[in-house]
Amino acid sequence: MSRNPFFRTARRKTLTIVGATALLGALAVGGAVLIAPAVASAAPAAAPVDDVTAYNQRVQVRAALDTAKTAIADAAAVNADVRASGLDLGQARKLVDVTGLQSAHAVLSDAASEKGAVNTTLAVAVADYSEKVESQVAEVRTNLNNAVAQKQAADAAAAQAAAAAQAAAEAQAAANTPDGARAVAQQLMASEYGWGDDQFQCLNSLWNKESGWDYQAYNPSGATGIPQALPGDKMATIADDWQTNAATQIKWGLGYISSVYGTPCSAWGHSQATNWY
């Protein structure tokens, strides 16, 4: 017996409606459940519609499909950007899950391809679901932008610290030469003690005799560095780098001269008289 084609068409439409009804029951949005408007479990036969109504329904469905397609593309783009950045977004939302929206889009697309009445209830649910996905896209985009800004700030701070460390290392290297050490001493004499060029001449003569302004100078007696501190670790009262930093040695030496002799010229006079200071 041949089957009536009318029944085949009616059966296919019934399956589409039931599938859409099941999908409307629960649409997951990133862990939250989107509850769609209630739909009858057994949909009655579609009532005849006029051409204008059918056209408007198709426009509504097409708009919902386009909106869902855009949301899916936007989610894919922001997810790709998050993965490409390699940044840790911490406790914030990291990715957008569009699995549910893709399924809803597919069901609505299949329903729209059928002739006859269109399930506009499903179109409304898909449009609402798309809006929620776009909200998550905006959230993830903001989280990513914040992470990028934090990374840029951290990189800038690290670069600034590295530049400062490099400048300090270069300044120390320059100060660790005899001429550099003399320049440091002359500046410190003026700023810390108010001593002028006449006192510097005495200091220059004194430390030329003691160490030749060599921060690595060492005497078998244990006298160390530019001022020939005895023992050398006395200079640790200024800084722990007293063995490697001429500026540290100079600061200690000037303080020693000021406290014991008053001025470099007095210290130089004592050295000339006793061969030590």
Q: Are residues 13 and 146 in the same domain?
A: yes
pTM higher than 0.75 for the full model?
no
The residue out of 95, 125, 157 marking a domain boundary is 157
pLDDT of residue 116: 57
pLDDT of residue 113: 84
Over residues 49-53, the mean pLDDT reads 77
The residue out of 126, 157, 188 marking a domain boundary is 157
Is 151 in contact with 87 (CB distance < 8 Å)? Answer: yes
Comparing 34 with 116, the larger pLDDT belongs to 116
The answer to whether residue 222 is domain-embedded is yes
The answer to whether residue 166 is domain-embedded is no
Please identify which residue in the block is written with the tokens 């020693």: 256
Q: Are residues 151 and 186 in the same domain?
A: no
The residue out of 157, 188, 220 marking a domain boundary is 157
For residue 263, which of 210, 193, 211 has the smallest C-alpha distance? Answer: 193
Domain total in the chain: 2
pLDDT tens digits for 85-96?
Answer: 999 998 889 999
The answer to whether residue 44 is domain-embedded is no
Q: Are residues 243 and 148 in the same domain?
A: no
Confidence of residue 11 (pLDDT cuts 50, 70, 90): very low
| Structural domain range at position 142 | 5-38+49-157
- Characterise 222 by phi-psi region: left (phi > 0), alpha (psi -120 to 50), beta (else): left
How many whole angstroms separate alpha carbon 187 and alpha carbon 55? 89
Q: Are residues 228 and 257 in the same domain?
A: yes
